[in-house]
A and B are shown apart, each in its own frame.
Chain A
Amino acid sequence: MIRQMWNSRAARKFRRNRLAVAAFVVIAFYLLVGASVLLFGLITLDETGERVGMKNVPGFFAEQRAEKRMNDCEYFLDIVDRALGKRDPEEALAAIRFGRLDLIDKPVDDIREIVDQGWKIYDELAEIDDLNEAPGTLPRLGELQSVVAELFPIPTGWDGFIYKLQMCLGTDRAGRSISFRAIYSIKVAFQIGMVTAVIAVALGSVLGTAAGFFGGWVDHLVTWLFTTFSSIPNLVLLVLLAYMFAGTVFDGTLVPVYIAFSCTFWIGPCRVIRGETLKLKELEYVQAATAIGFGRGYILFRHILPNAVHLILINFSLLFIGAIKSEVILTFLGLGVKSGPSLGIMITQSRSEVINGFFWQIGTATVVMFILVLAFNILSDALQDAFDPKHL
C-alpha cells in the first residue's frame, strides 16, 4: 500500500519538484514539533511561562551593550543580596532559581563574600559616566560578569543543553525563553489552523456541493446563509463571537477562536465549490453516470466531489494559513488567544520591546510564521500540480 503510494504517478511527480519536497520537509518538521508538544509534552505550558534568565537577552548569545550588562549583573546581585538580608537566608537562597539556572550550592558566608566582591566592582564601575569610552572599564565589566557567573554557574550536561536552547533566541521582557515560546506557538498555530480549516472546508464543501447539486430550496437556503454571513464584516463577526464566549467555560481556551473562524471561513470554499458543482453537474459524465443507473448521492460523492478535490485542497491550505494569520490579528486586538503563548501573543507583547530596540521576539514569531506560510503555499501548489491528472 505504502509502496504503491510511493510509486504512484502523483508521488513521482511531486518528488521531481525539489522546492515542493523542501517545503514538505519544512512542514513535516513543524508538524513533528507541534505534535510532540501536543502529544508528548515536549514543552509544557509552565515551561513557556517560567523565567529562565535576564529580561530581553538577545539571541545567539550576542554581545550586549555595557549598560545592559551592568543592569543584568545588578539584578542578579540584588536578588541574592536581598535573600541574604532575610531572617532565614539559607531558605531564601535555596528559593532562587531561574529555570535551569541555579544559585551555586555554597555556605551562606561564601556566597555573601562573592556578592560583596561583585558589589565592589559594581560600585567602581557605577561612577564612570561612559562605560564604553573609559579605558579599562570593559575588562573590569567582564570581571563583574564572571563574579555573577560564579554565583549562577551555567549548568552542564543535559541541563546545559536545554539552557542553551532556551537562551538561543534570547528572552522576552519577563525573562522567558523566546525559543520555547515560539515552539509552543507552533503547536497552537497548528491547532488553530487544522481545526478551523477542517471544519470550515468540510462545512463549505458539503453545503456547497449540496446547494449546487440539488438546487431548489437547498440552494436557496445555502445561498441565503452565505450571503447573510458575508454581508457582516468579517472582523465584526469575529469580535462578536469572541465576546459571546467571554465568561463561559470556553473563555481562555482556543474554542472561541475555533468557532469564530469556522463560522466565517466556510463561506469561501462554499461559494467556490457550489459554482464548481453547478458546472460539473451539467457535464456529460455526470449525465452518463445517471444513465448507468447510479443514485444521486453516489454521483455526488464519486463523480462530483473528486472533481472538486483540487478546490478543496487549495481552500484547505488557504484557510489553514488564513486561520494562523487571523489568530495573530485577533490576538493583537485582544480578542483571540487570551493566555499562554501563541504567535499572536508573541507579536502583541513585542510591541513595547520593539520601541526599546529589541527585535528578537517579534523577529522569531515573524520568521516562524513566514516560513510556515511560505512552505504551505508552495506545498499546496505542488500538491495541486501533482494530483491534477490533466498535467504531466
Chain B
Amino acid sequence: MDQPQPILKVTQLSTCFRTDQGEVTAVDNVSFELFSGESLGIVGESGCGKTVTSKSIMRLLPEHITRFKPESRIEFDNANLLALGERAMREVRGNRIAMIFQEPMTALNPVFKIGWQIEEALKYHTKLSRNQRRERAIEMLRLVEIPNPDQRVNEYPHQLSGGMRQRVVIAIALCCEPDILIADEPTTALDVTIQAQILRLMDELKKKLGTAIMLITHDLGVIAQVCDRVVVMYAGQIVETASVHDIFHRPQHPYTKALLESIPKSGKQEHGKRLPTIEGIVPSLFDLPVGCRFHDRCQLAEDRCRDEMPQLTTPHDNRDVRCHFPLNETS
C-alpha cells in the first residue's frame, strides 16, 4: 500500500489567547494528519484544547484575542488555512470543511424551516436552482434517515426531537459534500440509543460520501464505535496518537490508560469495587506544572517527570507518545 496523502495536515499548531491575566497557550504545538475517508478521534477531558483545535482549523475563534504562533500551519488543499483571507476562508467553511456542534437544540435557527436552512447553505456554495436546491434538501434529509423528508422540510426545528435535529445538522453540514466533517461532541447531548444511531449514521455517511471525519469527544466509547485513529490530548498537548485498536489494547501513555480504566465495563467489573477515576483535575493553563503536565496525577511519575517535559516520540509505526516511561513498550 503506497503512502496516501493527508487531506489535512496540522503542524505545530499553537493557539494563544490574550486574557486579562496574560497570554495563555490553549493549544500547544499540536501536529496531526487527517487522511481522506478516515475518522480521526480527538479525545480528552474538558478544557484540554480539543474544541480550540477544531475551531482553529475553522478559524472560528474570536480574532481580536486569538494569536497563532508563527510556526503553526494548517495545510489543506495546498494552502495554509491560517494565512487565508476572510473571503477565501468563507469559501472553505461549509463548502470544503464543515462543522457540527454539540448542542442540537440550539444549532438550528428556530425561526426558519429546516428545508430553508439546508437550502441556505446550498445557495451560498453552489449554483443550483431553487427547485434543485429543494430536491437536494429532501435528498439530504433522506440520506440522514429522517422519515417523510418531503414533509419534514417544511417543519420548524422545534417540531423535531433532539436526535432528529442532530440529523438535520449533519444534513446541513454534508449538503455541500465537504472533504472534511469536524464533529465537536456531536452526541454528548443525546441519549445513548440516539447516540448510537447518530454514530452509525455518521459512519455510513463517511463510507458513502468518502468524507473524512474529525470527531471530538470526551467519550472513549464513541471513539471505539467510529474512529480509525485517535489523538489523545491533555492540557493543550497531544499525549498519544495511535490507531483505535492500539489505544484500546495497548495504551502507551498513563493518561490514556487511566481514561480507559474509568470507562464502566459491563460484566467485567469486579463486584462492589468503585470505578477507578483519575485523581485531581486538568491543570490550569495559567499555572502549568514544570515537567510532564500529567505528572501530578500520574501514578507512575518519577523525578524525571517532574523536571523535564517529555517530547513526542515515535516508538512504533503510526503512533506517537509523549512520556518518559511509556507503557506496553515490549508488546
| A residues with CB within 8 A of B | 216, 283-285, 287-295, 302-303, 306-307, 309, 389-390
Residue in A293, A295, A309 whose beta carbon sits within 8 Å of that of B92 in the complex: A293
Residue in A290, A292, A294, A389 whose beta carbon sits within 8 Å of that of B111 in the complex: A389
Please give the distance in Å from B68's CB to the nearest CB on chain A: 18
B35 interfacial contact with A, CB 8 Å: no
Digit string of B296-320 for contact with A (CB within 8 Å is 1, else 0)?
Answer: 0000000000000000000000000
Listed by A's residue number, 14 A-B pairs whose Cβ atoms lie within 8 Å are: A283-B106, A284-B102, A285-B109, A287-B101, A288-B169, A291-B60, A291-B94, A292-B93, A292-B124, A292-B172, A293-B93, A293-B94, A295-B90, A307-B111
B9 interfacial contact with A, CB 8 Å: no
Please give the distance in Å from A99's CB to the nearest CB on chain B: 54
Indicate if the CB atoms of A292 and B103 lie closer than 8 Å.
Answer: no
B212 interfacial contact with A, CB 8 Å: no
B112 interfacial contact with A, CB 8 Å: yes
Indicate if the CB atoms of B60 and A290 lie closer than 8 Å.
Answer: yes
Q: Which of chain A's residues have a CB closer than 8 A to the CB of B325?
A: none
Q: Which of chain B's residues have a CB closer than 8 A to the CB of A289?
A: 109
Q: Which residue of A lies closest to B107 (CB)?
A: A284
Q: Which of chain B's residues have a CB closer than 8 A to the CB of A294?
A: 90, 94, 124
Indicate if the CB atoms of A285 and B107 lie closer than 8 Å.
Answer: yes
Q: Which of chain B's residues have a CB closer than 8 A to the CB of A307?
A: 109-111
What are the 3 closest A-B residue pairs judged by CB atoms, nearest first?
A: A292-B94, A293-B93, A293-B94
Q: Which residue of B lies closest to A288 (CB)?
A: B107
Indicate if the CB atoms of A293 and B91 lie closer than 8 Å.
Answer: yes
Indicate if the CB atoms of A303 and B109 lie closer than 8 Å.
Answer: yes
Q: Which residue of A lies closest to B64 (CB)?
A: A216
Q: For the side of the interface on B, what is the size category?
A: 20 to 34
Indicate if the CB atoms of B111 and A291 lie closer than 8 Å.
Answer: no
**Complex: A289 Cα to B99 Cα, angstroms:** 10
B56 interfacial contact with A, CB 8 Å: no
Q: Which residue of A lies closest to B58 (CB)?
A: A291
Indicate if the CB atoms of B125 and A293 lie closer than 8 Å.
Answer: yes
**Complex: A290 Cα to B106 Cα, angstroms:** 14
**Complex: A295 Cα to B125 Cα, angstroms:** 12
Digit string of B79-98 for contact with A (CB within 8 Å is 1, else 0)?
Answer: 00000000001111111001
**Complex: A288 Cα to B60 Cα, angstroms:** 10
Indicate if the CB atoms of A293 and B64 lie closer than 8 Å.
Answer: no
Q: Which of chain B's residues have a CB closer than 8 A to the CB of A284?
A: 101-103, 106-107
B158 interfacial contact with A, CB 8 Å: yes
Which of B48-68 touch A at CB < 8 Å?
58, 60, 64
Indicate if the CB atoms of B101 and A293 lie closer than 8 Å.
Answer: no
Given contacts A292-B93, A293-B124, 8 further A-B contacts (CB under 8 A): A285-B106, A288-B99, A288-B107, A291-B60, A291-B98, A293-B95, A294-B90, A306-B112
